[in-house]
Amino acid sequence: MVTFQENWLQVLQTTFMQHALLGGSMVALAAGLMGWFVVTRQNAFAAHALAHIGFPGATGAILVGAPVTLGLAVFCVGGGLLIGLFGKRVADREVATGTILAFATGLGVLFASLATANASSTTTVLFGNLLAISRDQLWVFGGFTVLVVGVLAVIARPLVFASVDPTVAEARGVPVRALGVAFVVLLALTITMAVQVVGTLLLFALVVTPAAAALRMTARPGLVAAIAVAIALGSVWFGLVLSAMVNLPPSFFVTTLAVLTWAVTLLLTWDRVPRETPAPVLDAPQLVPDRSR
Amino acid sequence: MPQNYTAALGEAVRARDLVMLGLTGGRFGLRRASATERARVDDALRRVGAQDYADRRMSELSGGQQQRVAIAQAIVDDAELLLLDEPLANLDLRNQHEVVTLLGELTRERRVTVMVVAHDLNPLLPVLTDAVYLLDGHPHHDPIDAVVTEDLLTHLYGTPVRVVRTAQGDLFTRGG
């Protein structure tokens, strides 16, 4: 039942809420910054897949009694590198990504059943649970966030070049391949965190959606990054407040707020959508083959 | 200079950003572009006549405009040699003409050497000075006048080619 909690202000002050706010903010920062590259490099599907590839990592960790974050990180980074091996061609990558994704999800189910993990821990992996973040996890999150933001600051400019214009960047001596590998590892770390906030199934909303919305508003790279982070942060913060008010899972509110922002942006900027206008056709297309010739 | 930009990439950058990458794109670390660098970007955009749409997204520009911005990116760091892969690909006649004129200006006024890979000689003939070609597996280099001959082109293309000089003195080639 949905009921309004009178004491939501007190709920916000509890330890688990504080952990959630802090952890969620770190994820939002990393995810918002990575989003621009995910969208521009057309890696959205890979990002989604990496989250699923983390699923057997998480359930495998439960199976052997290792920390879930470790299992997620190992599988996400490994999966990312594996996908990266499959050529530059988007078409090849899509197929490889999808195949690895299916295999990983299968493994995840196997591990979950071997570990006799109860349904709730599997649900946590799939949908995330921001309210269950421990103090130890926060330290790991902090390390990951510092790493992602720090490395990104150093490689941002060449990575932008390599993402927007790979052939010219390579011709100018930018190490395009090495940057690609570095990017995948950063993405894997970001996803390792984000999965624990919104789960493997809802990850898209934090990593891709804010950046996509920001890109509609402006094309200034710095501003896009700032807006994407702001949208992600806003979604996490207000999502937590709403979840405290009505005692429902924060994942729902976080994703819904991000998606709403994106949808509203899309509507407001609809007139600026550069639509593909078909070239004027001089000869009417022939639907029926001309047999007279 | 690439042949074209995909929609997703063009959506993400403005013309100005793309040119700036030609100047600073290889640099690691966080540092804002200096005033000098911004001035050089403006200068490069002006040189190719792209200043009016410098702040538009690449995806919003026509093929010819994108080509101009790409040339601006190539010359922004005062390169002495430009390698262009099919710079006229997908351009209509007017844009072809404008790009060719621009390339001619660059070689004459800026002392830039421009090397073009092209499958159609005709639009480029007014500005070409030399040609590098592969004949029976060996590279050759000759002044353009020595290359644009019926015998050589017919042999090169493996199909009959005729060379015509118009009353105005312009050269062009045609198959058959």
Categorize the per-residue pLDDT at A289 as very low, low, confident or very high, splitting at 50, 70 and 90.
very low
CB pairs under 8 A between A and B: 81
CB contact under 8 A, A171 and B29: no
Taking the alpha carbons at both ends of chain B, their separation in whole angstroms is 32
Cα–Cα distance, A26 to A31 (Å, whole number): 9
- The CATH number covering residue A128 comes to 1.10.3470.10
Cα separation, A33 vs A61, whole angstroms: 28
Cβ within 8 Å, pair A165-B83: no
Label each residue of A23-66 as H, E or C. Answer: HHHHHHHHHHHHHHHHHHCCCHHHHHHHHHHHHHHHHHHHHHCC
> How do residues B124-171 score in pLDDT, each as one tens digit?
888 888 899 888 889 999 998 888 888 888 888 888 888 887 777 677
Residues of B in contact with A154 (CB under 8 A): 28-30
B121: enclosing H helix or E strand? none
Examine the pLDDT at A282 and tell me if it is beyond 70.
no
- Pairwise CB contact (< 8 Å): A169 & B25: yes
CA distance A154 to chain B (A): 4
Number of separate domains in chain A: 1
Note whether residue A274 is domain-resident: no
Say yes or no for a CB contact (<8 Å) between B2 and A42.
Answer: no
In a domain, A276, yes or no: no
| A123 occurs within a structural domain | yes
Whole domain around residue A34: which residue ranges?
A: 8-267
Buried b (16+ CB within 10 A) or exposed e, B35-44: eebeebbbeb
Per-residue pLDDT tens for A188-232?
Answer: 888 888 888 777 667 778 888 999 999 888 888 888 999 999 999
Q: Which of B34, B27, B5, B44 is nearest to B16 (CA)?
A: B44
Whether residue A106 is contained in a domain is answered as yes
A209 in a domain, yes or no? Answer: yes
Q: Which positions ≥6 away from A267 have C-beta within 8 Å?
A: none
Return the residue matching tokens 């490994």: A78
pTM recorded for the entire structure: 0.80
Contact B22 A171 (CB under 8 A): no
pLDDT category of residue A149 using cuts at 50, 70 and 90? very high
- Residue A284 in any domain: the answer is no
Does A138 fall in a domain? Answer: yes
Alpha helix (H) residue ranges in A165-284: 166-171, 176-202, 204-207, 209-217, 221-246, 250-268
Distance CA B143, CA B147 (A): 7
Q: Is residue A285 part of a domain?
A: no
| Complex confidence, ipTM | 0.77
- 3-class SS at A219? coil
Dmax (CA) for chain A in angstroms is 82
Q: Which residues on neighbouring strands pair with residue B134, listed in sequence order?
A: B139
Distance from CA of B23 to the nearest CA of A (A): 10
Q: How far apart are CA B81 and CA B114, in angstroms?
A: 6
Distance from CA of A64 to the nearest CA of B (A): 41
pLDDT class of B10 with cuts at 50, 70, 90: low
Angle between helices B35-47 and B15-24 (to 10 degrees): 120
Nearest CB neighbour to A155, from listed B12, B22, B28: B28
Asked if residue A200 lies in contact with residue A217, where contact means CB atoms within 8 angstroms, the answer is no
